Amino acid sequence: MFIMNIDELRRKAYQLRIDIIEMIYNANSGHPGGSLSAIDIMTVLYYKIMKHSPKEPNMPDRDRFILSKGHASPALYAVLADMGYFPKEELKNFRKANSMLQGHPSYLKTPGVEDSTGSLGQGLSFACGVAIAAKIDRRDYNVYCMIGDGESEEGQIWEAAMNGARHNLDNLCVILDYNHLQIDGNIYDIKRPQPFAEKWLSFGWDVMEIDGHDFNEIIEAFETFKSVKGKPSLIIAHTIKGKGVSFMENQADWHGKAPDKKQRDQAVEELKRYV
Amino acid sequence: MSELYSLRKIYGETLVKIADKYPEIVVLDADLAKSTKTQLFAQKYPNRFFDMGIAEADMVATAAGLASCGKIPYVSSFAMFATGKCWEQVRNTIAYSKFNVKIVATHACLSVGEDGASHQACEDVAVMNVIPNMNIIVPSDDVSTRFFTEEIAKIKGPFYMRLPRSETERIYSDNKKFVFGKEEVLRDGGNVTIFSMGLMTGIAIKAADKLRKNGIKVNVVDILTVKPIDKDTIIEFLKKSGKAVVCEEHEINGGITSIISTIASMNYPSKLRSVSITDKFGQSGDWKELFSIYGLTEDNIIKNVMELEND
Ligand SMILES: Cc1ncc(C[n+]2csc(CCOP(=O)(O)OP(=O)(O)O)c2C)c(N)n1
Ligand SMILES: [Mg+2]
């Protein structure tokens, strides 16, 4: 289940990208752009970094991953299914009536989902709560939380940022999926949440910047996080929205749109080359 | 005049009293600990208390995270902010996942008094009631407040408990045991029923007793559990009397008048009247004066009962 080798991790991530495309194609709805920008990081977390057990999803000492940008659920479901949290056939039911795989993550419906997200801005507060609980109980699990760059326009993100530093949550690592795009366009043109590094540093966080598609850099950042004491960490992951599918890359239009048959075929064709 | 009790003080004291019995309890507040009285807990258990600052949305979502790890978070602020500032966080991050978070809000509605409309949530019960999985308790005196502060720790799931700012008289005997989901019958044997909630119950009893002295028997049912509401008792009393006055320090739209009207119209159509706030914001003033301006009085209850009685 766990993968140590970088080439294998990369191949796994491309295999999962195919699952993401198939799920969204099959559902004829969903969010490919932000799933494809996030999947490399999530692959590293689940296959290499986090301590967790699909057979025992409620293991008290498990590391937690909280997908605050819940619309990237296809990426999360692809990982959880591949790891065996639930049967892979379930991916076919993504976004269908009575399915365990809701459009956005649902805590009560899907094994392995830690928090019901989808309404942006709330997952980081939740993650702080989980990290505080670890401190109270003197447990040594880590909490990983992925937020969007557009999501960072929500005020609650910054409320939580204050809280994380206030409580010295060095068991909390936030990954910012810095793909520059939100639904209506470029984040710089819309609300301008940048500069990120300066803001988070001034909020009292440890800040790293990496290429969010470079597996060596991703792994190294998580290793660094584990050595930072006394404050929470933010990894600014420079990513490409739609990464891996040529016609989806850097296109705001592919934020929340399903590919048609031809587009799906082309996407899978392109992705297969890296598997 | 009998002794007055501050229900929020009872809440704070009870938290301290039960803290050792329930080591999973943690308490969160949003810079109002002195007013909500969670400060009493904070002083005694500083490591289990988190002042989240003026950030209610962050507070309730953090509480959900704590609950996901087995904690029993009690979350306090004024009713206005605990339900209004973060309604969607309560819905999506707490209730949708059924996390075991207890929102105990003080300073509900007109009881706030001088701070005025910006601080007077007269629609808090309505907005919590529409959230699936949410449970709602509205204590009416110190005894019910003490009981339910502990009781909700024993029952898994999200709770909203509403407390006033102002003080009120005791209604129940000291060691009274209540049942979550069961309304309390305080007066029986009459031709008209008063259903009342929170501070209005004390006022309703006075109205009922005055009426009784004048030969008019009135039932009083205290709606302590607003959600899930005790339909059986409500229908039983509608059948007994066929006429009811619903009294609430709350907006008529979405409050217990609305809830009981729905039950009545679907089960036993009855003549109903309401003593409540009718599509209005509150305002500044002494809370008793405000109750009088908005018609939340003994006299108004009596008037409504008499009109039904003579109908
Ligand atoms: C509170 C809230 N407002 C609006 C939306 C609708 N919405 C879904 S995704 C999205 C854009 C998110 O952009 P970003 O955080 O940058 O995500 P990514 O680019 O990684 O997909 C919006 C506005 C939402 N889900 N939640
Ligand atoms: Mg983005």
The reply to whether B286 and B242 lie within a common domain is yes
Our mutation pick for probing the ligand 1 site, out of A67, A182, A186, A249, counting the most ligand atoms within 8 A of Cβ, is: A182
Tokens representing residue A157 in the block: 């993100």
Mean pLDDT along residues B117-140: 98
Mean pLDDT along residues B298-311: 95
The reply to whether B72 and B193 lie within a common domain is no
Q: Per the CB < 8 Å rule, is A115 touching B66?
A: no
pLDDT at B307 over 70: yes
- Identify the domain containing residue B240 by its residue range: 184-309
| B116 min Cα distance to partner chain A (Å) | 27
Last residue of a domain, one of B112, B136, B169: B169
Which top CATH class is A6-272? Answer: alpha beta
Say yes or no: A161 contacts chain B, CB-CB below 8 A: no
The reply to whether B78 and B154 lie within a common domain is yes
Say what the pLDDT of residue B70 is: 98
Question: pLDDT, tens digit, for every residue of B196-223?
Answer: 999 999 999 999 999 999 999 999 999 9
Last residue of a domain, one of B121, B137, B169: B169
The reply to whether B131 and B190 lie within a common domain is no
Residue B262 within a domain:
yes
Mean pLDDT along residues B3-26: 98
Going by C-alpha positions, the residue among A57, A51, A42, A63 that lies closest to residue A2 is A51
Map out the domains of chain A as residue ranges. Answer: 6-272
- Among candidate residues B56, B248, B251, B298, the one labeled active-site is B56
The reply to whether B197 and B147 lie within a common domain is no
Say what the pLDDT of residue B190 is: 95
Residue B206 within a domain:
yes
The reply to whether B255 and B303 lie within a common domain is yes
Cα–ligand 1 centroid distance for A52 (angstroms): 28
Which residue does chain B place closest to A158, by CA atoms? B58
Contacts of residue A265, Cβ cutoff 8 Å, sequence gap at least 6:
none
Give the pLDDT of chain A (275 residues) as one tens digit per residue. Answer: 788 799 999 999 999 999 999 999 999 999 999 999 999 999 999 999 999 999 999 999 999 999 999 999 999 999 999 999 999 999 999 999 999 999 999 999 999 999 999 999 999 999 999 999 999 999 999 999 999 999 999 999 999 999 999 999 999 999 999 999 999 999 999 999 999 999 999 999 999 999 999 999 999 999 999 999 999 999 999 999 999 999 999 999 999 999 999 999 999 999 999 99
Residues of A in contact with B48 (CB under 8 A): 136
Say what the pLDDT of residue B215 is: 95
Task: Answer yes or no: B56 catalytic.
Answer: yes
- Residue B61: which of A114, A125, A133 has the nearest Cβ? A125
The reply to whether B149 and B189 lie within a common domain is no
Say what the pLDDT of residue B1 is: 60
The reply to whether B122 and B85 lie within a common domain is yes
The whole-model pTM stands at: 0.96
The reply to whether B142 and B198 lie within a common domain is no
Residue B70 within a domain:
yes
Q: Could you tell me the CATH number of the domain that includes residue B260?
A: 3.40.50.920
Confidence of residue B311 (pLDDT cuts 50, 70, 90): confident
Domain count, chain B: 2
Say yes or no: A132 contacts chain B, CB-CB below 8 A: yes
Residue B117, burial from CB neighbour count under 10 angstroms (0-12, 13-18, 19+): middle
Say what the pLDDT of residue B177 is: 97
DSSP code per residue over chain A: -----HHHHHHHHHHHHHHHHHHHHHHT-S-HHHHHHHHHHHHHIIIII----TT-TT-TT--EEEESSGGGHHHHHHHHHHHTSS-GGGGGGTTSTT-SS-SS--TTTSTT--S---STT-HHHHHHHHHHHHHHHT----EEEEEETTGGGSHHHHHHHHHHHHTT-TTEEEEEEE-SEETTEEHHHHT----HHHHHHHTT-EEEEEETT-HHHHHHHHHHHHH--SS-EEEEEE--TTTTSTTTTT-GGGSS----HHHHHHHHHHHHTT-
Say what the pLDDT of residue A2 is: 85
CA-CA distance, B148 to B225, in Å (whole number)?
10
The reply to whether B225 and B115 lie within a common domain is no
Q: Could you tell me the CATH number of the domain that includes residue B98?
A: 3.40.50.970
| A117 min Cα distance to partner chain B (Å) | 7
Residue B119 within a domain:
yes
Last residue of a domain, one of B169, B196, B216: B169
Average pLDDT, chain B: 97
The reply to whether B62 and B189 lie within a common domain is no
Say yes or no: A163 contacts chain B, CB-CB below 8 A: yes
Residue B179 within a domain:
no
Give the angle subtended at the CA of A151 by the CAs of A213 and A118, to the nearest 5°. Answer: 95
Question: pLDDT, tens digit, for every residue of B52-67?
Answer: 999 999 999 999 999 9
Residue B178 within a domain:
no
The reply to whether B72 and B202 lie within a common domain is no
